[in-house]
Amino acid sequence: MNHQATFPEAYLYFIEQATKAPSGHNTQPWLFRCGNGWIEIHPNLKKALPVVDGTHRELFISLGCAAENLILAASSKGYNTTVTIHENGVIVILLNEEKGAEENLILARQIDKRQCNKGVYTGQMVAMKEVQQMMDTVKEPDLSIQSWEKGTAEYQLLSRYIELGNEIQMRDKAFKKELTSWMRFNKKEVCHHRDGLSYATFGAPNLPAVLSRFITSLVLNASAQNRADRRKLKSSSHLVLLSSTSETPQAWINTGRALERFLLCCTQKGVATAFLNQPCEVTELASELAAKLLTKKAYPLLLVRIGYASPMPYAPRKKVSDVILTP
């Protein structure tokens, strides 16, 4: 397709960078519509996760991450942007050729490097000055960000809630069915789908799908998950919690924009990140967590562990042509 008739070729690059945003189970729940001077990001509810994300909160946060990547990529190519978020979660980004901020150029360079590193980290601590600088990128008025160092009482409390979340989720047959439906068990499945949870990002070998599914069935339980998460938590430096006083698609999208800046700043500093959202995804645990750790009427949205680690394989992404809506 010749896109130049309707919008500049550079827009395809902006969309490509947008699709490198994180999303739950790597569902990539976005679609794009373009015209000369604008790009829209639409939620793709066919990629929704009704069990683990029944309100679509994490879906809209992912859209915000994608929007931030697009904005940073546009800025790196000499475009200024104006963003409007509609009540239904559609994001409209107007583009004008104008030099972007230097800070945006620095973060834009990190988009290709950022990854959700699910491996075991080195155990080396991140200096509190560095942690604070990364958290300072979060400036949304309704959004709060807090961190706790390994060894603190709060870190231990969050670790316990992660285990409780695993116990609740792994008892839920619907949760496990949804999770396994997004697993890509070998290279062939990864290349076919170009989304989902790649075997390689977990450090698993490339085995026949039948064998991989059997092995997964043996370890997909609370006991195994908790053992794995204890190792990961022991090797991490801090846990970072994002919470918000607003629960609307617009607020979730703005959360995603702030989250992506935080993740890219971590990447810039060589700090690995991964999500441990179980306590935020289980309603009763999230309410308890809010009462124990949050000082105002806020709801915990995302829990991120940070530390130092060797890079892992990157999660696959759909082709740009697969996510563009035709006029």
Where does 128-307 sit in CATH, by number?
A: 3.40.109.10
pLDDT tens track for 19-75: 999 999 999 999 999 999 999 999 999 999 999 999 999 999 999 999 999 999 999
Q: Which of 178, 137, 169 is nearest to 277 (CA)?
A: 169
State the Cα–Cα distance between residues 157 and 217, nearest whole angstrom. Answer: 29
State the Cα–Cα distance between residues 123 and 3, nearest whole angstrom. Answer: 48
The residues spanned by each domain of the chain are 3-114+314-323, 128-307
Judged on CB neighbours under 10 Å (0-12, 13-18, 19+), 70 is buried
- The answer to whether residue 4 scores a pLDDT higher than 70 is no
Q: How is the chain split among helix, strand and coil, in percent rounded to 5?
A: 45, 20, 35
State the Cα–Cα distance between residues 318 and 181, nearest whole angstrom. Answer: 17
User: What is the structure's pLDDT at 218?
Assistant: 87
State the Cα–Cα distance between residues 59 and 43, nearest whole angstrom. Answer: 8
In the chain, alpha helices (H): 10-18, 57-76, 102-108, 128-135, 153-170, 173-181, 187-193, 209-219, 222-235, 249-268, 278-281, 283-293, 320-323
pLDDT tens track for 106-138: 999 999 999 999 999 999 999 999 999 999 999
Where does 3-114+314-323 sit in CATH, by number?
A: 3.40.109.10
User: What is the structure's pLDDT at 2?
Assistant: 42
- The answer to whether residue 295 scores a pLDDT higher than 80 is no
Query: Is there a shared CATH topology between the 3-114+314-323 domain and the 128-307 domain?
Result: yes
Alpha-carbon separation of residue 186 from 116, 181, 209, 295 (angstroms): 19, 14, 6, 45
- The answer to whether residue 5 scores a pLDDT higher than 60 is no
* Predicted TM-score (pTM) of this structure: 0.95
Average pLDDT of span 283-306: 93
1: pLDDT confidence band, cut at 50, 70 and 90? very low
State the Cα–Cα distance between residues 6 and 36, nearest whole angstrom. Answer: 6
